[in-house]
């Protein structure tokens, strides 16, 4: 009986299982697709290259000076017409130096003091001699006054025939002798005065002063060293305290080949560019053409003066000059230009390109540009103001690369 019941239960159809087999399968499919999408995104993220770190700059339009028509280009140096090495008129020991390099000094300002011990003692001796000469002069003047009175009294008595003529002669001779002594005493006082003035000048010579207003460009001696107006004692004696330059006397000296000197004339406008500041054009003009030639170099020296001075102009700086056509100064007008550094330009497939960054993605842009002085380029086409470009593109930077900016 039991066996039959089990057999009957096995043959019975389970309605619940049948219902489950007919249920919809799209939720499972949707879940599986979502899992596959997440897996694909994870694989893409793991295989994606790291962003490239770049330095960007915004393209801006700036004002630049147009190049005027040049008839001759040359190089030279900035020189000072007033340049002096402050030295001493005598050989002495340096006691004090009151200037340093770069210091501005006025005309007559004390720059150094030398040992004045001997000169001070000599001045004291001469002043004592002067006092002695003045005292002797005063004594002679007193004696002369007395001799004059004696001569007058003797002359009066002689007129009354109360004294002899010989006594009058003695009184007159004594007066004349004292009068001559007075002249000698006056000359002695004058001589002693001049000696005092000479010693005062010697003492003053030991105080070194600036001959003109300028800037100290070198300090050549220290306290304790010997200084002399001529080279003496080998390397143990200095010939100057400091070197002084009048910055208002700066100009340019240019050696022009004698084959082209006919292109240069006094008053000719010149554009000068310092090697230290290649983007700064300084207006200038020809001061003079030195009327002699250097037979060794076959050149003629030309002096060029700055139309405006600036603290950035320093002696011995290298300078490039462009001699312009007459009236060519107006040709240097200001103009607008889009400038980029030369490091932003790279070559791809034989063409100059710039990488422009937009939405953290680098885009390769072919540009048309011309080189300008100072390592800059003027972009004529291919880049617009306001766009951000990569300053120094790395070699692995390509079109579409993801970048991060510093």
- How would residue 19 be classed by pLDDT, with cut points 50, 70 and 90? very low
Provide the pairing of β-strand 250-257 with 70-80: antiparallel
Distance CA 116, CA 57 (A): 65
Strand partners, 319: 76, 274
Predicted confidence (pLDDT) at residue 112 exceeds the cutoff of 90: yes
Tokens of 359: 């939405």
Three-state SS for 221? Answer: coil
**For 338-356, how does the pLDDT look when each residue is reduced to its tens digit (9 = 90+)?**
788 888 788 888 888 888 8
**For 308-328, how does the pLDDT look when each residue is reduced to its tens digit (9 = 90+)?**
888 899 999 999 999 988 765
Say what the pLDDT of residue 287 is: 94
Distance CA 198, CA 205 (A): 10
| Contact present, 376 and 277 (Cβ < 8 Å) | no
Predicted confidence (pLDDT) at residue 4 exceeds the cutoff of 90: no
Tokens of 237: 């004696």
- Cβ-proximal residues to 121 (8 Å cutoff; 6+ apart), any chain: none
Say what the pLDDT of residue 142 is: 92
Say what the pLDDT of residue 238 is: 82
Distance CA 245, CA 107 (A): 12
Tokens of 355: 């990488």
Say what the pLDDT of residue 270 is: 92
Distance CA 243, CA 116 (A): 23
What DSSP state is assigned to residue 31?
H
The model's pTM: 0.56
Query: Which residue in this structure is represented by tokens 């290298």?
Result: 318
The torsion of the CA quartet 297, 303, 306, 309, rounded to 10 degrees, works out to 80
Say what the pLDDT of residue 1 is: 47
Distance CA 357, CA 389 (A): 6
Name the range with the highest mean pLDDT among 66-75, 157-166, 246-255: 246-255
DSSP element (H, E) containing 195: helix 165-205
**For 155-206, how does the pLDDT look when each residue is reduced to its tens digit (9 = 90+)?**
888 888 888 888 888 888 988 998 999 999 999 999 999 999 999 999 999 9
Distance CA 336, CA 344 (A): 20
């Amino acid at each position: 009986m039991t066996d039959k019941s089990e057999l009957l239960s096995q043959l019975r159809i389970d309605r619940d299982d049948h219902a489950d087999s007919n249920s919809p399968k799209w939720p499972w499919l949707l879940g599986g697709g979502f899992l596959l999408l997440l897996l694909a995104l994870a694989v893409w993220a793991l295989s994606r290259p790291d962003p490239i770190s770049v330095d960007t700059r915004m393209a801006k339009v700036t004002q630049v000076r147009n190049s005027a028509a040049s008839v001759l280009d040359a190089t030279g140096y900035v020189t000072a017409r007033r340049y002096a090495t402050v030295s001493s008129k005598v050989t002495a020991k340096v006691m004090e130096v009151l200037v340093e390099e770069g210091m501005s000094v006025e005309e007559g300002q004390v720059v150094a003091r030398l040992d004045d011990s001997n000169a001070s003692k000599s001045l004291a001796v001469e002043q004592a001699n002067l006092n002695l000469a003045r005292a002797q002069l005063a004594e002679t003047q007193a004696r002369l006054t007395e001799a004059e009175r004696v001569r007058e009294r003797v002359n009066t008595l002689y007129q009354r025939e109360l004294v002899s003529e010989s006594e009058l002669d003695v009184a007159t001779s004594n007066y004349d002798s004292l009068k001559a002594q007075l002249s000698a005493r006056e000359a002695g006082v004058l001589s002693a005065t001049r000696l005092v003035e000479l010693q005062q000048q010697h003492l003053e010579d030991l105080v070194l002063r600036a001959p003109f207003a300028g800037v100290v460009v070198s300090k050549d001696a220290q306290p304790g060293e010997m200084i002399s107006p001529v080279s003496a004692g080998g390397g143990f004696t200095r010939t100057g305290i400091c070197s002084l330059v009048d910055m208002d006397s700066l100009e340019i000296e240019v050696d022009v080949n004698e084959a082209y000197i006919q292109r240069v004339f006094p008053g000719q406008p010149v554009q000068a560019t310092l090697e230290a500041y290649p983007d700064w054009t300084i207006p200038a003009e020809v001061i003079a053409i030195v009327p002699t030639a250097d037979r060794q170099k076959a050149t003629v020296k030309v002096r060029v003066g700055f139309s405006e001075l600036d603290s950035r102009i320093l002696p011995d700086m290298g300078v490039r000059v462009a001699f312009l056509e007459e009236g060519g100064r107006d040709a240097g007008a200001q103009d607008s230009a889009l400038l980029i550094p030369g490091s932003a330009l790279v070559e791809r497939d034989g063409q100059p390109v710039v990488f422009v960054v937009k939405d953290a993605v680098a885009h390769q842009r072919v540009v048309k540009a011309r080189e300008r002085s100072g390592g800059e380029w003027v972009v004529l086409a291919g880049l617009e103001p306001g766009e951000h470009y990569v300053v120094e593109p790395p070699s692995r930077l390509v079109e579409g690369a993801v970048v991060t900016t510093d």
